[in-house]
Chains A and B, each alone.
Chain A
Amino acid sequence: MAEPRPLALSHLRRLEAESIAIMREVAAEFRKPVMLYSIGKDSSVLLHLAMKAFHPAKPPFPLLHIDTTWKFRDMIAFRDQRVRELGLDLLVHANPEGISQDINPFAHGSALYTDVMKTQALRQALDIHGFDAAIGGARRDEEKSRAKERIFSHRSVTHRWDPKNQRPELWNLYNTLLAPGESMRVFPLSNWTELDVWEYIQLENIPIVPLYFASLRPVVERDGALIMVDDERMPLQPGEAPQWRSIRFRTLGCYPLTGATPSTASDLSAIVREMTASRTSERQGRVIDRDSAASMERKKVEGYF
């Protein structure tokens, strides 16, 4: 295998071609697909691939952002700018019940907050619009239960995932048949790793939220995580005072639940270098994964992405 074969696709081009093929299958096989857009780096790659898959046409499905109302301000600004630049349809949904009860990560804890503002909100949005397929940016290397999930992942009428009864997925053949009310979650980035995503962002020069690049930002250290104080809603505990530190994010979720990494990596090659040397996984910065050993699986069973 030492001799590179001139007509073989490179690793990243092969991943790209596979993801494009998956998106085209979704467009061809489903009645009303949608693409989940959570503004993070995986979403940015997903969006970039969707633009490629249907070129010169626009992607034949809208984007959907589940707004928990606790996203970083930079993320929302970036979202609106990207959608404008690309001329795409964006749907935004926040759980009105959650908003009226002011469900937030500080007062209600991450588990309830995630359920109401993410899982339930997503289920509501899919039901309201009657989407039968939702494309998401999850990767198998993120988490153990994700590693078990199919590329075309079947959901019941109540959006539940049955990990013990998944459809066999042989070759590149996907069973896309649904009963009325059932839906499919589709993961074109299943076979990508975190490093692949960064290398691809670098290769393709894909725009990402500036929070991924190191800069001086106000943070407090809480439960071993560096939490950025993004707006005045964050209640400071006695003795806590935001400090300005050079940080960046490996993963972007809701700001009170996403830990930052001390870093000086302010461009993509520095980030890729930092990634290669890293001794921790990206999910380490996600507070919600720490709830319990199988928490991701349980959330997914209930309809979380």
Chain B
Amino acid sequence: MTVHHAIIGRTPEAAWTYAEDNAHDKPTLRLVTCGSVDDGKSTLVGRLLYDSKMLLDDQLDALASDSKVAGTAGPALDFALLVDGLQAEREQGITIDVAYRFFATRRRRFVVADTPGHVQYTRNMATGASHADLAVVLIDARKGVVSQTRRHSHILALLGVRHVLVAVNKMDLVGFDADRFTTISVAFRTMAEQLGIADVQCVPVAARDGDNVFRTSGRMPWYSGPSVMEHLESVDVADGIEGRPFRFPVQWVNRPNAEFRGFSGRVASGTLRCGDPVVVHPSGRRSRVSGIVTADGRLQQAISGQSVTLLLADEVDASRGDVLTSGTPPMVADHIAAHLIWFDDEAMRPGRRYLLKSGTSSIGAVVSAMKHRVCIDTMAQETALTLEANEIGCVDLVLDRPLVCDAYRDNRDLGSFILIDPFNRRTVAAGLIDAPLRRPANISWQTIDIDKSVRARLKQQKPCVLWLTGLSGAGKSTIANLVDRRLCELGRHTALLDGDNLRHGINRDLGFSPEARVENIRRVTEIAALFVDAGLITLVSLISPFRAERETARRRFATGEFIEVHVATPLAACEARDPKGLYKRARAGELSNFTGIDQPYEAPETPDITIDGAALSADEAAELIVRHLREHHYF
């Protein structure tokens, strides 16, 4: 029982490292299996377990009796039953959830995430892929590359799984046809190249019988490549993470007594030596590592993947959610561009608040702009207002406070996040950070002595934004113009920002795609904010069709500064008026992305003022708005 002597006489580091710890330690390959329903994923995994002689006698006995009861392989063993462990899975003969299985050969250890093929369980496939070095993509030789193959491959590419083994399965059902295999391989490779998946190995397989699974099969003499297992045992998946900058998200502050204050966490990337300088983010405070504490003694060095507790030379403040770094600084951003894989049955809602969890941080987040959705079949980017379950898209997120992060391509741990619905607590999306949209670290605020309140007092008015939204032809500009005149007559200081006019100048580079509209509104919001700072009652007349963008605009202002005015004229009335002849052209197909015709208008849910544009004249509407300002003491 005296095993402890085995590590006596070594430095604590030595006990941790690969070579010293166990000379026979085998590297581990993490793989995920994916593909469409009934492509044979579970069968292949079961077969790998069986052929690697990992199954024990009692498990084999159970498999034999299960196969008789629930098997789909006739009198033979049904290998899928080895992994489809849930009752509902056995009843339906499908995989519902990820199963993690472990096995080993002489050369390697394997962790297999066997994931479901059904579209409705895509989140479980993505879950498996987020842990994988390599993916085994199953393709039914009879069906070839199908939509689900493309969906899964896209997710693999997105999640950075750079190695793919394509198992073209059920070759026995196409008469072991070499041409069929070649056609499918070429189709997959073409798609993989498009997606940027670098390493693809295609193997023709009959998983049920074990052909080319463990050993190369005599039934396909035309195939000269490796078997599935030969490839899995030899493929080099080293991801070149060495030399990456040090990242250490603080999990827990360890304070057993007044003398000890350590920061516990797991090294996400890089290495750190005792004495190295570190920066605490987001505060930017600097210190030096004075100790690397473990229960086995102090270390001179901490390496990627290790759970340690760090002591700092200075009394700097750091807590859970902060990140200790050295080398290239991380991003610190409260506005990020990201890819989302949407999981939830309830669609993504721009403007709605979610909880973003990244590393050890949890931060409130709002999707401020939906940029595009990826069409799985064509890989094209298409415009969309939302993401439905299992869709992938690109969005901008505004966070409640700055997040310390890296781009996902640089660092999986600091570049990944999940979104949680704070009301039902479901994990609704997986996210991958592309880039920060602002760099607050580089730009500091210039303090201006004469502020908004000084100007407001001088002008004897409370500056605000009157944001008129409504369909084209609703009467926004006419009403805004009348309000502007009325206020001037009353001696008020105003400015009028008209959407059409701005498009001649500051916004002339923008079109009408949803992306361009978002940018249009962002610019108008910023200009309006400057005018409000200058103490002006600022009128904005803009269709602004999307609720989320108007919400984003509202958040740019203080409470009471943003007054949403819905000029609610029915579409039919607007179309009948058609002051600029635009509806006619849109109906004729000459204009695309036209609000009300081929792009939706999301009416405000609780506007501050509603104008019934069909019932009121423009004068009456203007009077209503002026009265609102007076009654609410804007002047």
Q: Is the CB of B440 closer than 8 A to any CB of chain A?
A: no
Pick from B22, B96, B295: contact of A52, CB below 8 A.
B295
A147 to B58 alpha-carbon distance, docked (Å)? 17
* Closest CB in chain A relative to B338 CB, distance in Å: 14
Residue numbers in B under 8 Å from A280 (CB-CB): 56-58
Q: Is the CB of B410 closer than 8 A to any CB of chain A?
A: no
A54 to B263 alpha-carbon distance, docked (Å)? 11
One digit per residue, 1 when the CB lies within 8 angstroms of any chain B CB and 0 when it does not, for chain A 262-305 equals: 00000110000000001111011000000001100110000000
Residue numbers in A under 8 Å from B295 (CB-CB): 51-52, 55
Sorting the interface of chain B by its residue count into under 10, 10 to 19, 20 to 34 or 35 or more gives 35 or more
Q: Is the CB of A53 closer than 8 A to any CB of chain B?
A: yes
CB nearest to B62 among chain A residues: A293
* Closest CB in chain A relative to B453 CB, distance in Å: 40
Residue numbers in A under 8 Å from B251 (CB-CB): 21, 24-25, 28
Mark out the residues of chain A between 121 and 174 whose CB falls within 8 Å of any chain B CB in the assembled complex. Answer: 140-141, 143-145, 147-148, 163-164, 166-173
One digit per residue, 1 when the CB lies within 8 angstroms of any chain A CB and 0 when it does not, for chain B 94-107 equals: 00111111100001
On whether the beta carbons of A171 and B131 are closer than 8 Å, the reply is: yes
Residue numbers in A under 8 Å from B365 (CB-CB): none
A298 to B127 alpha-carbon distance, docked (Å)? 24
One digit per residue, 1 when the CB lies within 8 angstroms of any chain A CB and 0 when it does not, for chain B 457-488 equals: 00000000000000000000000000000000
Q: Is the CB of A193 closer than 8 A to any CB of chain B?
A: yes
Pick from A9, A12, A141: contact of B303, CB below 8 A.
A9
* Closest CB in chain A relative to B293 CB, distance in Å: 7
On whether the beta carbons of A168 and B123 are closer than 8 Å, the reply is: yes
Pick from B21, B58, B69, B360: contact of A284, CB below 8 A.
B58
One digit per residue, 1 when the CB lies within 8 angstroms of any chain A CB and 0 when it does not, for chain B 264-304 equals: 11100001000000000000000000000111100000011
A203 to B25 alpha-carbon distance, docked (Å)? 13
Mark out the residues of chain B between 422 and 457 whose CB falls within 8 Å of any chain A CB in the assembled complex. Answer: 422, 425-427, 430
Known: A51-B295, A202-B3. A57 touches B254 (CB 8 A): yes
Q: Is the CB of A17 closer than 8 A to any CB of chain B?
A: yes
Residue numbers in A under 8 Å from B4 (CB-CB): 205
The segment from B169-177, B374-382, B413-421 found at the interface with A is B413-421
Mark out the residues of chain B between 93 and 131 whose CB falls within 8 Å of any chain A CB in the assembled complex. Answer: 96-102, 107-109, 111, 123-124, 126-127, 130-131
On whether the beta carbons of A190 and B100 are closer than 8 Å, the reply is: yes
Residue numbers in A under 8 Å from B85 (CB-CB): 143-145, 147-148, 297
Specify the main secondary structure of chain B where it touches its partner.
Answer: mixed
* Closest CB in chain B relative to A189 CB, distance in Å: 12
* Closest CB in chain A relative to B112 CB, distance in Å: 10
* Closest CB in chain B relative to A160 CB, distance in Å: 14
The segment from A33-41, A101-109, A175-183 found at the interface with B is A175-183
* Closest CB in chain B relative to A46 CB, distance in Å: 14
Q: Is the CB of B260 closer than 8 A to any CB of chain A?
A: yes
* Closest CB in chain B relative to A135 CB, distance in Å: 15
Most buried by B among A4, A9, A20, A168: A168
* Closest CB in chain A relative to B319 CB, distance in Å: 10
Q: Is the CB of A87 closer than 8 A to any CB of chain B?
A: no
* Closest CB in chain A relative to B484 CB, distance in Å: 48
Pick from B56, B97, B99, B417: contact of A173, CB below 8 A.
B417
On whether the beta carbons of B18 and A8 are closer than 8 Å, the reply is: yes
On whether the beta carbons of B100 and A191 are closer than 8 Å, the reply is: yes
Q: Is the CB of B513 closer than 8 A to any CB of chain A?
A: no
On whether the beta carbons of A13 and B16 are closer than 8 Å, the reply is: yes
On whether the beta carbons of B27 and A1 are closer than 8 Å, the reply is: yes
The segment from B305-313, B561-569, B599-607 found at the interface with A is B305-313
Known: A170-B416, A193-B102. A54 touches B58 (CB 8 A): no
Q: Is the CB of A56 closer than 8 A to any CB of chain B?
A: yes
Known: A55-B309, A147-B101, A168-B127. A4 touches B427 (CB 8 A): no
17 contacts between A and B (CB under 8 A): A4-B18, A6-B17, A10-B17, A12-B21, A12-B22, A14-B28, A17-B306, A168-B427, A170-B126, A170-B130, A173-B358, A175-B357, A177-B355, A178-B425, A279-B56, A293-B66, A297-B86
The 8 closest A-B pairs by CB, nearest first: A144-B85, A57-B256, A55-B295, A20-B307, A52-B295, A10-B21, A170-B130, A177-B425
On B, residues with C-beta under 8 Å from A are: 1-4, 6, 16-19, 21-22, 25-28, 56-59, 62, 66, 69, 82-88, 90, 96-102, 107-109, 111, 123-124, 126-127, 130-131, 234, 236, 238, 242, 251-252, 254-256, 260, 264-266, 271, 293-296, 303-307, 309, 320, 343, 355, 357-358, 360, 412-413, 416-418, 420, 422, 425-427, 430
**Sample of 17 further A-B pairs with CB below 8 A, known A4-B25, A52-B296, A203-B3:** A8-B303, A14-B28, A16-B307, A17-B266, A17-B305, A20-B266, A28-B360, A57-B254, A144-B85, A144-B86, A163-B86, A171-B130, A171-B416, A177-B422, A202-B3, A294-B87, A294-B90
